[in-house]
Amino acid sequence: MNESKEYSAVIDYIYSLGYFWQSFNALELHLRIYLNKKNGNNSSHVFKYTNMSIGDECDENAITDYKTFSNLCDLFNGYQSKEQKIDFKEIIDLRDALAHGRVLGDKDGNMVVIKYSLPKENKVTVKYKRDLNILRGMAEKISQLGMEISLKGGAKKL
């Protein structure tokens, strides 16, 4: 099959988006495990949640609570010295735009995400716009942050 440049760009976006989401989900879990441990809980019980069924009840903790990613980042940074704090803003903004914005492609298959404001007098303002060719690089950055957080939480280096 002879793939067009546009088709290849869209396929690359799809794989990069999957890589980003996987890395983002792992980062959130690393934050939750770190916070769970800081709250005096053993992190080894985290895996029991995969065996739960719909309707099962469990204790609320850093793994199960409804804190947003932004809240988790703030709580994590609260345990860090000024020099060790991590600036999560770029990740928070991109994740928020992907969740609440619009992903659009141009005629060449290049993808962008645009997030709009709430309407005022039937008008919206562009609040965020980002070319999504950065997803793969962001996923790698997020994976590195996840490892850093895991090591701060006491994980052993491989």
pLDDT digits (tens, 9 = 90+) for 90-147: 999 999 999 999 999 888 888 999 999 999 999 999 999 999 999 999 999 999 999 9
- State which H helix or E strand residue 129 sits in: strand 126-131
Residue 71 counted as domain residue: yes
Residue 115 counted as domain residue: yes
Query: What is the count of structural domains for the chain?
Result: 1
Asked if 151 contacts 34 with a C-beta cutoff of 8 angstroms, the reply is no
Residue 158 counted as domain residue: no
Smallest CA-to-CA distance from 24 within 100, 131, 133, 135 is with: 135
Residue 38 counted as domain residue: yes
Residue 157 counted as domain residue: no
Q: Give the residue numbers spanning the domain of 60.
A: 5-152
Euclidean distance between CA atoms 105 and 112, whole angstroms: 6
Residue 92 counted as domain residue: yes
**pTM, entire model:** 0.87
Residue 79 counted as domain residue: yes
Higher pLDDT, 156 or 122: 122
Beta bridge partners of 104: 112
Residue 47 counted as domain residue: yes
pLDDT (tens digit, 9 = 90+) per residue, 42-65? 777 777 888 889 999 988 999 999
The neighbour count for residue 62, using CB atoms within 10 Å, is 20
